[in-house]
Amino acid sequence: MKLVGKVAVVTGAGQGMGRAIARLFAQEGAIVIGVDLKRESVEETFSGIDEKCLARSLDVTNSEDVKCLFDEAVLKYGRVDVVVNSAGIGSVDALVDTSDESWARVTGVNLTGTFYCLREAVRSMKATTTPGSVINISSTAALTGEGPAHYCASKAAVMGLTRSAAREVAALGIRINTIVPGPTNTPMMKGIPDEWTEAIIKGVPMGRMAMPEEIASVALFLACGDSSFVTGQNIAVNGGMAFI
């Protein structure tokens, strides 16, 4: 029970890694506010777990709604201790086929949405003098380039965002880190062509995809006091596929 008494916001909590993280945090004693595009998917995440947890619908690309969510959390619980930015979208667009809309959508969710949630997280932690932990999610594709250009660009940018923001608020005791997952068995991976998946797995020295719970356990480490001197880091969880 490493998160007893903590208040956590998890985006993308309706499936995949966000779901595994939200469930683990709740099992570790946190009050979890899970958000996703559809509230029902988050309610499913919490089913049978803990009635303290809250499910909300939120589009992370809407900065006003992101602000309202954090305002609600602070009003209800007094502070937010942990934020995980797991909401994200992939793409299969080749560079020359990437429309302006696709570029804006992928960078909008993966980078701008992460920024909006990070900004509100830090604002609320500063206002309530909470030594919190923010965990962003990048991708090993940003290290290897094995993915669409706009996806890789958005995920590489999240690592830069993490390094800068972490330095800025380190003296306040607010820690910001990024998990850099390799291929992980979630609904997102089911959306890409089979031959891509096979090729991707061949490139993983451990010879398999991660399970979402293997990402969640690293998120728990970064969320709790076990990582009290860790900030500004991009931590690869990718079966040895690439190094930072």
Ligand X SMILES: NC(=O)c1ccc[n+]([C@@H]2O[C@H](COP(=O)([O-])OP(=O)(O)OC[C@H]3O[C@@H](n4cnc5c(N)ncnc54)[C@H](O)[C@@H]3O)[C@@H](O)[C@H]2O)c1
Q: Which residues are catalytic?
A: 151
> Does residue number 17 form part of the binding site for ligand X (CB under 6 A)?
yes
**Cβ 11 to ligand X shortest distance, Å:** 6
From candidates 60, 82, 111, 204, binder to ligand X by CB under 6 A: 60
Q: What's the token pair of residue 141?
A: 């594709």
> Does residue number 89 form part of the binding site for ligand X (CB under 6 A)?
yes
Q: How far apart are CA 226 and CA 220, in angstroms?
A: 9
Q: How far is CA 5 from CA 32, 37, 51, 54, 212, in A?
A: 10, 27, 15, 15, 24
Residues numbered 97 to 116 that lie near ligand X (CB under 6 A) are: 109-110, 113
> Does residue number 18 form part of the binding site for ligand X (CB under 6 A)?
yes
Cβ-based neighbours of 66, under 8 Å, separated by 6 or more: 58, 60, 113, 116, 117, 120
Write b or e for each residue in 44-82: b if 16 or more Cβ atoms lie within 10 A of its Cβ, otherwise e.
Answer: bbbeeeeeebbbbebbbbeeeebeebbeebbeebeebbb
**Cβ 58 to ligand X shortest distance, Å:** 6
- Of 11 and 233, CB closest to ligand X: 11
- Of 74 and 179, CB closest to ligand X: 179
> Does residue number 187 form part of the binding site for ligand X (CB under 6 A)?
yes
Q: How far apart are CA 12 and CA 42, in angstroms?
A: 8
> Does residue number 34 form part of the binding site for ligand X (CB under 6 A)?
no
> Does residue number 15 form part of the binding site for ligand X (CB under 6 A)?
yes
Residue whose entry in the numeric block shows the structure tokens 């062509």: 193
> Does residue number 183 form part of the binding site for ligand X (CB under 6 A)?
yes
Q: How far apart are CA 79 and CA 173, in angstroms?
A: 15
- Of 62 and 129, CB closest to ligand X: 62
Which residues contact ligand X by CB under 6 A?
11-12, 14-18, 36-37, 58-61, 86-89, 109-110, 113, 137, 139, 181, 183-184, 186-189
